[in-house]
Amino acid sequence: MASSTLICDTPQWKDLKAHVEDIKKTHLRDLMSDSDRCKSFITEFDGIILDYSRQRVIPPTLDKLFQLAEAARLKEKIDSMYNGEKINSTENRSVLHVALRAARDKVIQSDGKNVVPDVWHVLDQIKEFSERIRSGSWVGATGKALKDVVAVGIGGSFLGPLFVHTALQTDPEAAECAKGRQLRFLANVDPIDVARSIAGLNPETTLVVVVSKTFTTAETMLNARTLREWISGALGHQAVAKHMVAVSTNLTLVEKFGIDPANAFAFWDWVGGRYSVCSAVGVLPLSLQYGFPIVQKFLNGAESIDDHFHSTPFEKNIPVLLGLLSVWNVSFLGYPARAILPYSQALEKFAPHIQQVSMESNGKGVSIDGIPLTFETGEIDFGEPGTNGQHSFYQLIHQGRIIPCDFIGVMRSQQPIYLKGEVVSNHDELMSNFFAQPDALAYGKAAEQLFNEKVPNHLIPHKTFLGNRPSLSLLLPTLNAYNIGQVCANIYQKNIYKYF
């Protein structure tokens, strides 16, 4: 397709437009009774199960969406991203967040240079630095070990690390590694956020990490100056060198600010802010809190999804399927919003993270060549963990406008509870039985049965959402550092509106 041709002018788009009328005549109740259809609308990768049988699609819809992906040259564009081509045409940059979690021996080029050794150089620096801080061999200005960290940053230099930190906090292995340590975040320029971020902390035992790709963002720089004053007011100006470090692509400004460049951790202009959690932006604060080996598992999980995304045919490719279903729901069925409903409190910062990743990337009014679009792109993302959301906004989802729902379930809780005589959420045995179901139909029935046994868990929506309202579920075996990495990479790679 020539770059000036809009995707909506292709026969594939028009064919899908016409197909909307066929779908309007269907009802999910009837679609769900077709066991063959249900069987084919489940896919699995590395223990992650995507069930999209409750989307308003039939097999021809999927075929047409794959044809649309072909018209958009989606496969070539994904390859271009992995090959380091400058697909960020507005800034003339590569988009290489995949290189941030690539194995040491992989080769990923940008501007004719393999960037993976640079990535590993910084990872090795972070490993060494975080071990020094955590072991107490690096001490603060008064000779005390630094046990608390305040990460100052906003937007992409905040939301990804906050999401991962929140998700790891209750993972038993990560929690054990974080014993006696605290990681706080300071993003808002409102002084209340400053007060909260340092409440109860002692500057003598605190390390401040200033995280900013540009090192010019007004809020971050103001907050960094405030915390520099907090440190130097208590410990003297020379304490800044021991108590403040930075993560940035702009090492000149880091030095000007007064942070020793030897204590600055680099990343690169080919890392988009909202995709930067796998760079030093996330890896440094998370390694300080949990230790580098936990963060390495997180990176490995993200890499596993990158490989899956790059090499799996679209029919079985979880991020591609998620992305195409968004295109279908928003641009064809006209549903403007999507509810993100994780049935795990550990994922409470998932919706805010997705909001930036998705809504800062998509939803533009013009094509990449500046041509006004005649169709809606991008979705309005919002959400809350279940079951809290059920007692809040589900009423509208049940009875009002149609909002496609993404349910995210976790088979084995990070913190399971066993109560004698009661079936409690995330009971391993019941969950394994549920996951042993061969197809979506049986799976729906098992869900209903479990619901009838009063299982207060993520299965409830399977029963209550059997109207004509589309939903899907993404089920994870558990939530350890590896799975959390998979969750992150899934949302980054799912963001395929930009390819259309």
Ligand X SMILES: O=P(O)(O)OC[C@H]1O[C@](O)(CO)[C@@H](O)[C@@H]1O
Q: How far is the CB of 378 from ligand X (least distance, A)?
A: 15
Bridge partners, 381 (sequence order) = 338
Q: Which is nearer to ligand X, 268 or 343 (CB)?
A: 268
The amino acid sitting at 63 is D
Q: Is 223 in the site for ligand X (CB under 6 A)?
A: no
Q: Is 242 in the site for ligand X (CB under 6 A)?
A: no
Q: In degrees rounded to 5, what are phi and psi of residue 481?
A: -55, -40
Among 12, 130, 220, 361, binds ligand X (CB under 6 A): 220
| Span near ligand X by CB under 6 A; candidates 90-98, 151-159, 162-170, 263-271 | 151-159
301: closest CA among 486, 162, 458?
486
What DSSP string runs through 402-458? ---EEEEEESS-SS---BTTB--TT-HHHHHHHHT-SSHHHHHHHHHHHHHTT--ST
- Helices (H), ranges, 178-279: 191-198, 218-235, 240-243, 251-257
- Token readout for 499 is 């390819």
Give 47's DSSP letter. T
| Span near ligand X by CB under 6 A; candidates 14-22, 92-100, 209-217, 449-457 | 209-217
- For 351, counting Cβ atoms within 10 Å of its Cβ (0-12 exposed, 13-18 middle, 19+ buried), the class is buried
Q: Is 209 in the site for ligand X (CB under 6 A)?
A: no
Helix or strand run (H / E) with residue 325? helix 318-327
| Span near ligand X by CB under 6 A; candidates 51-59, 196-204, 213-221, 491-499 | 213-221
Cα–Cα distance measured from residue 115 to residue 453, given in angstroms and rounded to the nearest whole number: 54
Cα–Cα distance measured from residue 234 to residue 243, given in angstroms and rounded to the nearest whole number: 12
Strands 182-186 and 244-248 turn out to be: unpaired
Q: How far is the CB of 159 from ligand X (least distance, A)?
A: 8
| Span near ligand X by CB under 6 A; candidates 149-157, 176-184, 432-440, 476-484 | 149-157
Q: Which is nearer to ligand X, 274 or 458 (CB)?
A: 274
Site string for ligand X, 460-499 (x = CB under 6 A): ----------------------------------------
Among 214, 355, 449, 464, binds ligand X (CB under 6 A): 214
Bridge partners, 364 (sequence order) = none
Site string for ligand X, 271-290 (x = CB under 6 A): --xx----------------
Q: Is 156 in the site for ligand X (CB under 6 A)?
A: yes
Q: Is 338 in the site for ligand X (CB under 6 A)?
A: no
Q: How far is the CB of 43 from ligand X (least distance, A)?
A: 32
Among 38, 116, 150, 154, binds ligand X (CB under 6 A): 154
What is the b/e burial string over 332-344, where b = at least 16 CB atoms within 10 angstroms of the residue's CB?
Answer: bbebebbbbbbbb
* Spatial CB neighbours of 152, under 8 Å, sequence gap ≥ 6: 185, 186, 187, 208, 209, 210, 211, 220, 223, 224, 227
Residues 354-393 that bind ligand X (CB under 6 A): 360
Q: Which is nearer to ligand X, 244 or 318 (CB)?
A: 244
Among 53, 217, 331, 486, binds ligand X (CB under 6 A): 217
Residues 119-148 that bind ligand X (CB under 6 A): none
How far lies 222's CA from each of 146, 216, 251, 265, in Å? 23, 10, 18, 20
| Span near ligand X by CB under 6 A; candidates 154-162, 198-206, 282-290, 471-479 | 154-162
| Span near ligand X by CB under 6 A; candidates 112-120, 188-196, 214-222, 292-300 | 214-222
Q: How far is the CB of 97 from ligand X (least distance, A)?
A: 13
Q: How far is the CB of 283 from ligand X (least distance, A)?
A: 15
Residues 157-196 that bind ligand X (CB under 6 A): 157
Bridge partners, 476 (sequence order) = 410
| Span near ligand X by CB under 6 A; candidates 115-123, 126-134, 210-218, 435-443 | 210-218
Cα–Cα distance measured from residue 322 to residue 65, given in angstroms and rounded to the nearest whole number: 12
Q: How far is the CB of 261 from ligand X (least distance, A)?
A: 18
Q: Given the rule CB under 6 A, which residues bind ligand X?
A: 154-157, 212-214, 217, 220, 273-274, 360
